Amino acid sequence: MSPRARRLAGRLALVLSGAFALALLANAPADAEFGYDVDAYIGAARAVMAGESPYPAIEPGGTLTPGPFGLYPYPPVTALAFVPLAQLPTDVAHLVWFGILIAVAILVGFTLVRPLPPERRDWAAAAYLAYLPLLSELRFGNLNLVTLAVCLLAWHRRDRPVIAGLLFAVAIGLKLLPLALVGFLLLAGRWRIVAWVAAAFAIVGAVTWPWLGAEWIEFVGVLRAIGAGIPASGSNILPDAIGATQLRYALPFTAVAVAVLAGWAVRRDPRRERLGFAVALAGAPLLATSVWFIYLVLALPALLASDGERPAPAPVRLPRPAGLGAWLAIEARLDPLPMVGLAVSSSEG
């Protein structure tokens, strides 16, 4: 295939992916599950405003199964960010949050695609627009995309440890999954960032404890109950051989191991730190014992990672075989292929 034909193929893929994304998103507000996750955040905000607990009751036996409608398993301070939305009618709040997430998705896509070599941008943009975990994220209204955006911004400001540390603290506060990045940052020599992350959590905990102390204790109990409970079904991509057995408790160690190895690789070759960060971020979903399909939004930087640090054997190339294979496995959404795609994306560095 000639370079011109490849470029035209890339443009065609971009147009088709854009049309596919627009069609799904245009119909999203009519979907019965539209705003499914943001309802939990709004409900938690309303509970905090009313002086009530935002957390569900622990099941008999001290367990809790993730997934039911309205379940809120995040830090109590995160609920405060949704107080403005909680003032709106639910349908209006859904649309406002949907618009915010679309804006964030555009910014994240621009951030990931722009640094790529020109010959890869159309293919990468096409893969981004048609990425099913991203489109599902927008429909449900979860916080994975916002967490990814904050992580990318923090990494962009990595040479300013105070700013980067505060941003990473925000990301971890939104979703605990980026906590695995602490191992990466330490091994990569970014210990000052980790120090500021710890300082931010200590300050927030101390400031909010007088009026949210009981909720912080409940939050820890909810996390413990989820870890001890029955694995989630539905969008949980873990095969039963892992998710339904004690093997699922090895997943958090795997997430940390991926992050540590990526940090060690960066320490040996600092020129590849962007790729190392992307790989560590792709492994972060394994920090949970139930890996939701939409968690794979965090694998996007690795799937679209630039080959700029490697020799380019041809003037125009199709997507990398490993990245393309991982993307296709995730898109297939047939067990255990998404898990295979996540494994590839978190090991290709």
Q: Express each pLDDT in 93-118 by its tens digit.
A: 999 999 999 999 999 999 999 999 88
- Please state, in angstroms and rounded to a whole number, the distance separating the CA atoms of residues 100 and 51: 28
Domain ranges of the chain: 3-345
Q: Cα angle at 38 between 304 and 297, to 5 degrees? A: 10
pLDDT at 348: 61
The CA distance from 296 to 238, in Å, is 12
Distance, in Å, from the CA atom of 194 to the CA atom of 211, rounded to the nearest integer, reads 27
d(Cα 146, Cα 1) in Å, to the nearest integer? Answer: 39
- For residue 58, give both structure tokens: 């622990």
Q: What are phi and psi of 292, to 5 degrees?
A: -70, 150
Rounded to two decimals, the pTM is: 0.91
Give the alpha-carbon dihedral of 291, 305, 168, 57, to 10 degrees: -10
- Structure tokens that stand for 232 in this block: 């989630």
By three-state DSSP, how is residue 262 classified?
Answer: helix
| Cα 200 to Cα 285: distance, rounded to the nearest angstrom | 23
pLDDT grade for 226, boundaries at 50, 70 and 90: confident
What is the per-residue pLDDT across 207-223, written as a single tens digit (0 to 9) for each? 999 988 999 999 999 88
